[in-house]
Amino acid sequence: MTADGAPQLHRSAQRVADALDAVGATGEVREFAQPTRTSAEAAAALGCSLAAIASCLVLFADDASVVVIKSGAHRVDLGHLAGQLGAASVRQATAAEVREVTGQPIGGVAPVNWPTQPRVVIDEALDGLGEIWSAAGTPNAVFPTSFDELRRITGAAPVSVVGA
């Protein structure tokens, strides 16, 4: 507990909260006793739709790291995304590569506080949803945000992540 009686965040979630404050994000980091590592777990804990979960997926387009902020309702079509990114191929990162690129574990990757500067794209389907939720550095922490705020704090370019 903090001096004002608020629950203390896990140190990784606190680093994300500090990074969010530094970039002017408005949502407060929340931690849950149960895991929110998958989009379905997060949506259930929050009582929101699967579409309103903005999960960060680390991929490699050719040899360059890319973070895709995608709607929890979508599976990324890697072939389609390769075309969107102008890459010959796109593959999912390993757990070790996710940690190397973001400094965070799979299931807890926040859209900020990374030790590297990967290219960032955002699923255009998140636009217009109003409040959306993203991971906050641990598999149990999330924060509320919006499409416009995520674009602002990450520099993400909107893309289509699902094929026709």
149 vs 17: CA distance, rounded Å: 15
Q: How many residues does the chain have?
A: 164
pLDDT over threshold 70, residue 3: no
> Structural domain tally of the chain?
1
Q: Which domain holds residue 38?
A: 11-159
Residues 68-89: tens digit of each pLDDT: 999 999 899 999 999 999 999 9
Q: Where are the beta strands (DSSP E) in 23-154?
A: 30-31, 53-61, 64-71, 90-92, 119-123, 132-135, 141-145
Claim: this prediction has a pTM higher than 0.85: yes
CATH of the domain at 82: 3.90.960.10
94 vs 148: CA distance, rounded Å: 29
